[in-house]
Structure 1
Amino acid sequence: MGLTSDKVLALAVLAALGLFVGTVWLWPRLARRGWRAVSGRVGLLLSTQLMLFTAVGLAANQAFGFYASWADLFGQEKGQGVVVDHTPGRGPLRVVDTRRVPGAASARPEVSGQIQKVDIVGRTTHIATPAYVYLPAEYFQPQYRKRVFPAAVVLTGYPGTAEKLVDKLDYPRTASTLAKEGRMRPMILVMLRPTVAPPRDTECVDIPGGPQTETFFAKDLPDAVSGHYRVAREHGSWGIIGNSTGGYCALKLAMHHPGVYAAGAGLSAYYNAPVDPTTGDLFHGDEELRNRANLSWYLKHMPAPDTSLLVSSSKVGESNYKATLKFIERVKATKLTRISSITLESGGHNFNTWRREIPGTLEWMSGRLGGR
């Protein structure tokens, strides 16, 4: 059973309850002196607390998607190989499964849209990653068969799993509801995690001698999606959204590549790439690369990008609040880059907070993208 399995969580909860009941039941028998009684009490207490922490940890992982598998949890993820498909005629994007939009009233795609699980291989970077693509109902309706749609890339945090964008953050269902209410235009969503070279956190950087993650998101991903779906290709048709690490990536990609991404939204984002055990050496002594990864430095020293940015934070509960205020002022000083914000009175760095921000973010994104 996998780390995120409901059965594993249920077994952990039952084991914790069983140990608690056992401790209460056996405690009078062990309330004696002697090394055996003392060892029994210590063993019961440690076992109960360990299983309780395990159950809480599994529940938190289910809610927030920190780790996708046991191998991911213990640092044994083996997914570093790169798959390059040389089959003649096969493109860089392949659909491997389809599913209905969670909570949709109908399974018919022309009524409720559809989610497709895809495998993507970058033509230039050879980075391979799975993703989920949400296609709105209009995509399948005969009257729109020649219509092209705007698209938004949606990124998780680190390590994150793309499934959580569908099942926990409800991006497809929210987009479908907003479109039906007339609050946003129908839009294609391309949902994946920024960790395209697991388990390494590349921070969407083109690492010297390593994964060219920024190029993948700036070139390979839009090319692959546009070559397979009816996505508008003209300038102003693509946006990018992310939370936490994905939020940093979204802002950076919109700033570095305004010709690709006309808008970037960073929910609970930070503004400079960290260097820690999860990232390894991202820059290999390249000072220019390091500086470009610092968004405040970029705004101060590089030409202002012609793009729109959205940032979010909370006055209480988010550690990026002060940094976000400074970033807003820095963007406003450029006179060219547009900046908008969502500020909650309180909200932590978690799914519940982001679910409160996603409807407004999608509406904002819809208002800034083209397509016909």
Structure 2
Amino acid sequence: MGLTSKKVLVLAVLFAVLLFVATVWLWPRLARRNWRAVGGRIGILAATQAAIFACVGLAANQAFGFYASWADLFGQETDQGVVVDHMAGGATGPLRVVGTQQVQMAGGSRPQLTGQIQKVDIVGRTSHIASPAFIYLPPEYFQPQYRTRTFPASVILTGYPGTAQALVSKLNYPRTAQQLAKQGRMEPMILVMLRPTVAPPRDTECVDIPGGPQTETFFGRDLPDAVAAHYRVGKKPGGWGIIGDSTGGYCALKLAMHHPEVYGAGAGLSPYYKAPIDPTTGDLFQGNKELKNRADLAWFIKHQPAPDTSLLVTSSKQGESNYKATLRFIDAVKATKKTHVSSIILDSGGHNFNTWRREIPPTLQWVSARLAER
């Protein structure tokens, strides 16, 4: 049974309840003062506490999608590798569709009605990074009257470590985009959903690491090229959007600022503005001060030419630790007079899925409107 299986959670809860009952039942027998009784009390209390913590951890993982599998949890991710798609003439393609699923909507299950989610493997021609992703194609993509139309596209990133599936099943990006387009509040859009952790288990913070994974190159060049080669995506400069939460939010802002020729709109939900250095990242810059400064968004907006892109940042007055940093970043961007900045500031909301679900509909509308202007 998988880590995210409901059966695993039910069994864990059942085991914790049985241990609690056993503790109550056996406690009188363990009330003696000999070493066996003391050891028994310690053992049964420790087992009960561990079972309760396991239940809480499993429930939190199901709610927030931190880890997708047992291998992911224990740092033994195996769903990675270079996928070579042999096409006609012996050429290789950077994107391969490995599965499909329907968007869960009322009114039918045909792609022409609800759209389709395709699971793909993507290989970066330049970065040589391989990553799985989910691609949402709107209903219009399959309708005959739109067969020659190209569609705007946006990359959607999770936080760290995150799972791409959570963008579909927990944050409901495809369903939200389909509903907004149906209501005429945004244009039909292709969504490319994946996590920024493309070199697991390392948190690369979307940085081209000297001697390491070239993650920024993957997101700034390889990913858009691979998708554009396979799908009917618009190819005008700055015609892509990018959205992310937490770590993905930092990446989204940075990629839009560093690559405005690709990303005309970047939205960071609960982002931070400077790449951390910790045990999950390792040494990202290898002593290169220029790389370190470029990865600091506050430094970049003050010391580099203002990028021709639009940025959206979100925070809350109560519940988010980035509130003051977000206000400072907004002021810094406004001072450039060229880069456009917008914000969503909630009165309260924590760093969690519930907060981001409140921010996603207006964010998708904002991205759609910015791309329509280009």
When normalised by structure 1's length, the TM-score is: 0.96
Q: State how far apart, in whole Å, the 2-side matches of 1:311 and 1:371 are.
A: 19
| 2:59 corresponds to | 59
Offset at residue 294 of structure 1 (A)? 0.2
Residue of 314, 322, 325 corresponding to 1:323: 325
- Native 8 Å contact 2:198 2:215 kept in 1: yes
- Provide the secondary structure at the position in 2 that maps to 1:367: helix
- What does residue range 58-137 of structure 1 map to in structure 2 within 5 Å? 58-78=58-78, 81-84=81-84, 88-137=90-139
Encode CA deviations 1:286-319: one digit per residue, 9 max, x unaligned: 1111100000000110000110000001111111
Q: State how far apart, in whole Å, the 2-side matches of 1:73 and 1:188 are.
A: 30
| 2:149 corresponds to | 147
Q: State how far apart, in whole Å, the 1-side matches of 2:85 and 2:121 are.
A: 11
Whether 2:41 is the aligned partner of 1:37: answer no
| 2:225 corresponds to | 223
| 1:175 corresponds to | 177
Q: State how far apart, in whole Å, the 1-side matches of 2:80 and 2:184 are.
A: 43
Offset at residue 85 of structure 1 (A)? 5.0
Offset at residue 339 of structure 1 (A)? 0.5
- Native 8 Å contact 2:267 2:312 kept in 1: yes
Offset at residue 209 of structure 1 (A)? 1.2
Offset at residue 204 of structure 1 (A)? 0.5
- What does residue range 142-221 of structure 1 map to in structure 2 within 5 Å? 142-221=144-223
Offset at residue 31 of structure 1 (A)? 2.6
Q: State how far apart, in whole Å, the 1-side matches of 2:48 and 2:107 are.
A: 43
Offset at residue 178 of structure 1 (A)? 0.7
Encode CA deviations 1:256-277: one digit per residue, 9 max, x unaligned: 0111000000001000011111
Q: State how far apart, in whole Å, the 2-side matches of 1:102 and 1:216 are.
A: 30
Offset at residue 165 of structure 1 (A)? 0.3
Q: State how far apart, in whole Å, the 2-side matches of 1:366 and 1:324 are.
A: 23
Offset at residue 78 of structure 1 (A)? 4.9
Encode CA deviations 1:91-148: one digit per residue, 9 max, x unaligned: 1111111100134431100011110001111111111110000000011111111111
Gaps of 5+ in 1: none
- Provide the secondary structure at the position in 2 that maps to 1:368: helix
- Native 8 Å contact 2:244 2:252 kept in 1: yes
Residue of 337, 352, 355 corresponding to 1:353: 355
Q: Cα gap change, 1:237/1:370 in structure 2, threshold over 3 Å: closer, same or farther?
A: farther
Offset at residue 323 of structure 1 (A)? 0.6
Q: State how far apart, in whole Å, the 2-side matches of 1:268 and 1:292 are.
A: 20
- Native 8 Å contact 1:311 1:342 kept in 2: yes
Letter paired with 1:216: F
Letter paired with 1:132: F
When normalised by structure 2's length, the TM-score is: 0.96
- Native 8 Å contact 2:85 2:95 kept in 1: no
Letter paired with 2:4: T
Q: State how far apart, in whole Å, the 2-side matches of 1:104 and 1:197 are.
A: 37
Q: State how far apart, in whole Å, the 1-side matches of 2:224 and 2:150 are.
A: 14
- Native 8 Å contact 1:79 1:197 kept in 2: no
Percentage of matched positions with identical amino acids: 76
Whether 2:338 is the aligned partner of 1:336: answer yes
- Provide the secondary structure at the position in 1 that maps to 2:261: coil
Which stretch of the first structure deviates more once superposed, 68-77 or 199-208?
68-77
- Native 8 Å contact 2:86 2:93 kept in 1: no
Encode CA deviations 1:171-201: one digit per residue, 9 max, x unaligned: 0000011111111111000000011111111
Count residues in correspondence.
Answer: 372
- Native 8 Å contact 2:80 2:131 kept in 1: no
Encode CA deviations 1:28-60: one digit per residue, 9 max, x unaligned: 232333222222222211111110001101111
Whether 2:25 is the aligned partner of 1:25: answer yes
Q: State how far apart, in whole Å, the 2-side matches of 1:233 and 1:253 are.
A: 17
Q: State how far apart, in whole Å, the 1-side matches of 2:160 and 2:229 are.
A: 28
Encode CA deviations 1:309-347: one digit per residue, 9 max, x unaligned: 000011111111111111011111111011111111111
- Native 8 Å contact 2:155 2:241 kept in 1: yes
Letter paired with 1:232: G
Letter paired with 1:285: G
Offset at residue 3 of structure 1 (A)? 1.9
Q: State how far apart, in whole Å, the 1-side matches of 2:177 and 2:83 are.
A: 32
Letter paired with 2:12: A
Q: Cα gap change, 1:82/1:140 in structure 2, threshold over 3 Å: closer, same or farther?
A: closer
Which stretch of the first structure deviates more once superposed, 24-33 or 91-100?
24-33
Q: State how far apart, in whole Å, the 1-side matches of 2:219 and 2:123 are.
A: 11
Encode CA deviations 1:191-229: one digit per residue, 9 max, x unaligned: 000111111111111111111111111111111111111
Offset at residue 73 of structure 1 (A)? 2.1
Residue of 240, 249, 266 corresponding to 1:247: 249
